[in-house]
Structure 1
Amino acid sequence: MTAHHSPPDRVRLGLLTSTHAVNDLYQGLVPALLPLMVLERGYNYTAVSGLMLAATGLSSVVQPLFGLYADKAPRGWMVPLGFLVAALGLVLAGMSGDSYIATWLAAALCGLGIAAYHPPATVAARAAGGGSQRAMSVFAVGGTIGASFAPFLASTVVGGGALNRSWLLALPALLMALLWVAATTGSRQRGKTPASARKIAQHATNDWRAFFLLCGVIVGWSIPYVTVLSMLSLYVTRELGGTPYMGAAALTTFTAAGAIGTLLGGWLADRWGRMPTIRLGYMLALPALGALALAPDAVWAWCCTGALGVAMFMPFSAQVTLAQDYLPRNPATASGITLGLAMSIGGMVSPLFGLLSDARGIRYTLTCILVVLAVSAALTLRMRNRGVSVPRGLASSS
């Protein structure tokens, strides 16, 4: 098998990374606005959970459908339309007043925009990066940066009972859309990579068995990730006696370490290959999670959290490109399933681990998700790398 590579287009990759930051800013703004809505509109926990389901659950389910649509033909317009629709939904949610139904529908619209963005943007980022894992990791970190900025933006713009100013939150999307139009209008390069990619896909075959094995690995990754993300602060403060500041610091460290791990994983995958990097990440995550479960105090837990974040995200960009190479005829669908549906399963089962924590304690829950992660790590040993098979003549001509 021979993989098709081309020189990276750094300008276009930078543009796509910026759009990812803006898109995931709105993904982060949804949970950031919920406490403000509780204070201003009196929503209870059930109402808040319903809004999160509308924004994230629906988004994860429909993302593969947008992937199928994007695979049929180049649809670059889905990238700006996605984050513009996400911004519109968020603004409407913030300005919908006392109507919960209107707020719920607006949150769902925001989720649809986020879902529409990811499959075509991920495929475009892979093409712009010329097949580089490091380029894909840079694109992924762009989303992390955008999401991490969301709480600050929400508190600054609409904090203190000012949800009526939510329209200001649309400005990042509008500015990014103008930049996108200015950068892509009349660009000759815009259609070249998708065209060659389509020619290659016509001569490639999908390996669904390998793809579903990868999906199983990602599900086994997402369950520990979501569980740690949702319970880390409580673990540090309630069970280890840490201050609220230490709980928040541990959570921030986990997110920042994840960004570092994503970049490190992309660099390692380019040097060592995808499979060694993926397996190394899972194997390093196991002792880090085990040490977190056994942490004697908050400082130890904080150190383990940093190591866990780096290790868990090392395989991230390699898994995305591997999924696309397993389904070369449907790369956007592969992105939609792996980034949307498979990863969302962790969120779906997290309430079960919440019940387990109430009954047995968070340490017991961390031990259980360590077993889940171990199964996922074992499955990586059965995975194999795959390049896209390209006829020699086509590879040289394209």
Structure 2
Amino acid sequence: MRRNTSISLLAVGHACVDIYQGAVAALIPFFVAERDYTYAVASGIVLAASLLSSVAQPVFGALTDRWAMPWLLPVSTLLGGVGIALSGLSGSYGLTLFFVAISGVGVAAYHPESARVARLASAGSHSAMGWFSLGGNIGFALAPLMVAAVIGQGSLRWTPVLVLPALVGVALCVPVLRMLARPRAGAAGARAPRGADDVAAFVKLSLAVVFRSIVFIGLSTFISLYARQRVQDSTTAGTAALFLLFLGGAVGSILGGSLADRYDRVHVCRWSYLLSVVAVAGVIHVPGPAMFLFVALTSAGLYVPFSLQVTLGQDYLPSRIGTASGVTLGLTVSIGGLVSPLLGHLADTTSLKAALTPLIAMPALSWLLFRALPEPTAPALRTAAPAPVRQEA
């Protein structure tokens, strides 16, 4: 019961943080419309959120391997919300980049520690980790609806209202940390790793995560604008496409956790990436409203491996759980943003369709890398003994 409560609160808190990842993409059409940004300039905003985050997440992961840092959860949640809240207040492009980057650092600081806490609270259950990931998916899905409701009928000056989910997330951190205080207090005396690190497998996994990140962040940056072009310049179509892209991840996360309780995680990820190749091609090239079906299928396909990649990374690097979480969970929301300006430049010089077409190859590359990965043997976790603390150290 205590585990279920902890995971539920962590999942809702995860949603409150990941709203701000989704909000960056959801704000792009409004920056383009209100400030006349080009595709390349607008995608620079995504780069700002991703650049510091991609570097900071492994750093925070390494720090949490050495010290328990539960205070990171409320502080980082608030930082993520404040950055987005301030992003629309100045017409200065430089200040906009700065505030979005601050939000990205907050998101970066949150994920490694939250993944460690969730792994401890889940006692090794793939389904429980799937529910934790589901929270992030819901946050992503709610972001375009929230941004449209707040900004759609006004202007970017309303962005301060977007800080509200962060305040909720901060409040939720308190009971979670109290519930898990006793198990984490025992970690100081049980930090010896169990099992040997498989660095080669972890590197291959990380590359697969990078390719998954490129296709997902690339689509989330431009799918709203692309859907508007495909459906008679409809703002509603753009919001719907982005909502489906994020909401489909909720299905994928739960499905991934359930499948991993029955089959090998690596096997599940291979099939998911293979099916994602077809789904991404459908998003870009299938005409008419059928595009929205393929958007949902793409989201589900890319999110089935999401929580599984986090636990795979932790099992490949059992002596550095925080670092593994920072890389696998962090790269999924960071590296793709580094490629977005290149896609934006290509879209400016050719078309959005031409710029998005190379994304079809990304899940294929992830599939190839997963073909070379072994299924690790995860150490057993028990909720009532110090074993889970030893696992997390």
Bin the TM-score by the shorter chain: 0.7 to 0.9
Contact 2:310 2:328 (8 Å CA) reproduced: yes
SS where residue 298 of structure 1 aligns? coil
Q: Rg bigger for which structure?
A: 1
- Aligned 1:359-398 pairs, distance under 5 A: 368-388=358-378
What residue identity is the alignment partner of 2:68?
P
Q: Does 1:268 align with 2:232?
A: no
CA contact (8 A) 1:60 1:341 kept: yes
Tell me the equivalent position of 1:3: none
Instruction: Say if 1:8 and 1:381 are closer, same or farther in 2 by CA, change over 3 A.
Output: farther
Verify: 1:305 aligned to 2:298, yes or no: no
Question: Counterpart of 2:307?
Answer: 317
Alignment correspondent of 1:326: 316
* Cα-to-partner distance string for 1:122-142 (whole Å, 9 max, x where unaligned): 111111111111111211121
Cα deviation, residue 377, structure 1: 0.9
Verify the 8 A CA contact 1:23 1:83 in the aligned structure 2: yes
Corresponding residue of 2:50: 56
Instruction: Choose which of 187, 206, 223 in structure 2 pairs with 1:215.
Output: 206
Alignment match, 2:78: 84
Query: Matches of residues 184-263 of structure 1 in structure 2 within 5 Å?
Result: 184-185=177-178, 187=179, 189-192=180-183, 195=186, 199=190, 201-233=192-224, 238=229, 244=234, 245-246=236-237, 248-263=239-254
Secondary structure at 2:289's aligned position in 1?
Answer: helix
Question: How far apart in 2 are the matches of 1:371 and 1:32?
Answer: 25
Q: Is the 8 A contact 2:144 2:239 kept in 1?
A: no
The answer (yes or no) to whether the contact 1:26–1:150 under 8 Å persists in 2 is yes
Which ranges in structure 1 are unaligned for 5 or more consecutive residues?
1-6
* Pair 1:13 & 2:4 matched: no
The question of 1:125 aligning with 2:115 is answered no
1:4 paired residue number: none
| 8 A Cα contact 1:201 1:328, kept in partner | no
Q: 1:312 to 1:28 in 2, by over 3 A?
A: closer
Identity of aligned residues (%): 36
Aligned equivalents of 1:259, 1:57: Cα separation in 2:
26
Comparing 12-21 with 348-357, which one deviates more in the overlay? 348-357
Q: Deviations over 1:79-117 (max 9, x none)?
A: 11110122233334445x456555443332222111111
Please provide the CA RMSD for this pair.
Answer: 3.5
Separation in structure 1 between the aligned mates of residue 208 and residue 176 of structure 2, nearest angstrom? 38
- Matched residue, 2:280: 289
TM-score normalized by the length of structure 1:
0.82
Q: Tell me how far apart the structure 1 counterparts of residues 254 and 116 of structure 2 sit (CA, whole Å).
A: 18
**Does the CA contact (< 8 Å) of 2:29 and 2:225 recur in 1?**
no
Once the two structures are TM-superposed, the CA of residue 232 in structure 1 deviates from its matched residue by: 4.0
| Structure 1: distance between partners of 2:97 and 2:341 | 21
Q: Deviations over 1:256-278 (max 9, x none)?
A: 22221111111101121212211
Aligned residue for 1:340? Answer: 330
Q: Cα gap change, 1:308/1:168 in structure 2, threshold over 3 Å: closer, same or farther?
A: closer
C-alpha spacing 1:283/1:164, structure 2 compared with 1 (3 Å):
closer
Instruction: Note closer, same or farther for the CA distance 1:122–1:182 as it changes in structure 2 (3 Å cut).
Output: closer
**Larger CA deviation: 250-259 vs 55-64:** 250-259
Change in 2 beyond 3 A, CA 1:215/1:85: same
1:33 deviates by 4.7
Question: What letter is aligned with 1:121?
Answer: S
User: Superposition pairs for residues 99-110 of structure 1, below 5 Å?
Assistant: 101-110=94-103
TM-score normalised to structure 2 length: 0.83
* Distance in 2 (alpha carbons) for counterparts of 1:292 and 1:138: 27
Give, in whole Å, the separation in 2 of the partners of 1:183 and 1:231: 36
Distance 1:51 1:172 in 2: 21
Kindly tell me: are residues 111 and 57 of structure 1, through their superposed partners in 2, closer, same or farther at Cα, counting changes over 3 Å? same
Q: Quick one: structure 1 residues 89 and 294, their matched pair in 2 at CA, closer, same or farther if it must change by over 3 Å?
A: closer
SS at the partner of 2:190? helix
Aligned residues: 385
Take 2:176 and 2:357, find their aligned partners in 1: how far apart are those partners? 49
Distance 1:214 1:264 in 2: 20
CA separation in 2, counterparts of 1:211 and 1:121? Answer: 20
User: Residues of 2 paired with 1:177 and 1:171: CA distance?
Assistant: 10
- Paired with 2:388 and 2:132, the residues of 1 have a C-alpha distance of 28
Aligned to 2:69: 75
